[in-house]
Amino acid sequence: MAKSAAKANLTEQEATHRLRAVAGAVGGQESADSGRLLYDRIRLGIMSALSVNQRLSFAELKELLGTTDGNLSKHARRLEDAGFVSCKKAFAERVPRTQYSLTAKGKRVFARHLEHMEALIAATRDP
């Protein structure tokens, strides 16, 4: 019982250390701005799907994320404008085919985002 109470009462120094670890995982203003783009469920879904697939078509992303054409297009454009995603358009028998993939910058930003989430999770767990 006393051991549980001791765990529950983090010292101010331990709490500050945990906060610094989480803050350090963010990595500055550019990273914070980039991270904000990923808070949306559709944009996070696009980044997640592309992180485990070399490329996906518009139709594949739309089906995977269960969203509308307009919604997917809007969010994909935001990621493309930020330089996280590349978009290649082509035609196959007069039918447009759009393929998306992560850029090198997108891979770095997404990896940093995952590291930040892992730091948050670690900071909330018992020491």
Q: Which amino acid is at 39?
A: Y
> Greatest CA separation found in the chain?
73
Q: Which two tokens stand for residue 17?
A: 């250390």
Question: Which pairing describes strands 95-102 and 56-57: parallel, antiparallel, or unpaired?
Answer: antiparallel
12-124: which CATH topology? Arc Repressor Mutant, subunit A (1.10.10)
Question: Which pairing describes strands 85-92 and 56-57: parallel, antiparallel, or unpaired?
Answer: unpaired
Q: What would the pLDDT profile of 18-74 be if each residue is shown by its tens digit?
A: 565 555 544 555 555 666 788 899 999 999 999 999 999 999 999 999 999 999 999
Tokens 């930003």 label which residue?
109
Q: In 3D, which of 107, 10, 2, 93 has the Cα closest to residue 50? A: 107
Q: Which two tokens stand for residue 50?
A: 């592309």
- The helix or strand, by DSSP H or E, that contains position 8, with its residue range, turns out to be helix 2-8
Tokens 């696009």 label which residue?
46
pTM here is 0.74
Select the more confidently predicted residue: 14 or 43: 43
Q: Which two tokens stand for residue 102?
A: 């992560």
Q: What would the pLDDT profile of 113-124 be if each residue is shown by its tens digit?
A: 999 889 888 888
Q: Which two tokens stand for residue 20?
A: 């610094």
Q: Can you give the pLDDT at residue 127?
A: 63
